[in-house]
Amino acid sequence: MATLQPDGSPHQSVVWVGRQGDNLLFVTGVDKVKVRNLRRDPRLSVTVNPPDDPYGYAVISGTARFESVGARERMDELAVKYTGKTYAEHNPQSYATLPELVTIHVTPEKIAARFL
C-alpha cells in the first residue's frame, strides 16, 4: 500500500488486507509512518496480486477511515487468513509487545485491474 509523505513522495509498505463489504481493511500500529501520513492526508493506494496469477493485479485507490475498537481481533483474523494461525501463534514474541493497534478501512474510489 502507498501513502503520501509530507513532501509528496510515496511511502510504501506491505500489509495484510481483508475485506468488509466493498471496503478493504488492514491493521497496523498507531505509531507507524503510514498512520501519520493517512491522518494528515487520507488518500492511499493498495495493490493486490493473487498468488495463482503472477501477472494479475488490482490497484485500488481510495480514502482511509480509522477504527480502534476490535483491532486486535481483526489482526488475528488477518493472521489466520495469511498464515493459518492467530497472530499470537504465528509470532508470539511480537504479539507480547504489540503497540496500540488501529484498523484502517479503505473506501475504494478507483479500481484498475488486469487478470488472466
Model pLDDT for residues 11-45, shown as the tens digit of each residue: 999 999 999 999 999 999 999 999 999 999 999 99
Q: To the nearest 10°, the Cα dihedral for 56, 62, 63, 66?
A: -30
User: How far, in Å, CA of 50 to CA of 73, rounded?
Assistant: 24
Range of the domain at 90: 2-114
Residue 59's pLDDT is what? 97
The mean pLDDT value of the chain amounts to 93
Structural domains counted in the chain:
1
Residue 1's pLDDT is what? 97
pTM: 0.88
Q: Tell me the per-residue pLDDT of 64-85, one tens digit each, with 9 for 90 and over.
A: 999 999 998 999 999 999 999 9
Q: Which residue has the cell 495463482?
A: 52
Maximum pairwise Cα distance, the chain: 42
pLDDT category, 91, cuts 50, 70, 90? confident
Residue 59: C-alpha distances to residues 21, 52, 67, 109, 112 (Å): 17, 17, 23, 11, 5
Residue 116's pLDDT is what? 77
pLDDT category, 90, cuts 50, 70, 90? confident
Supply the CATH number for residue 26's domain.
Answer: 2.30.110.10
What pairs with residue 50 in β-bridges? none
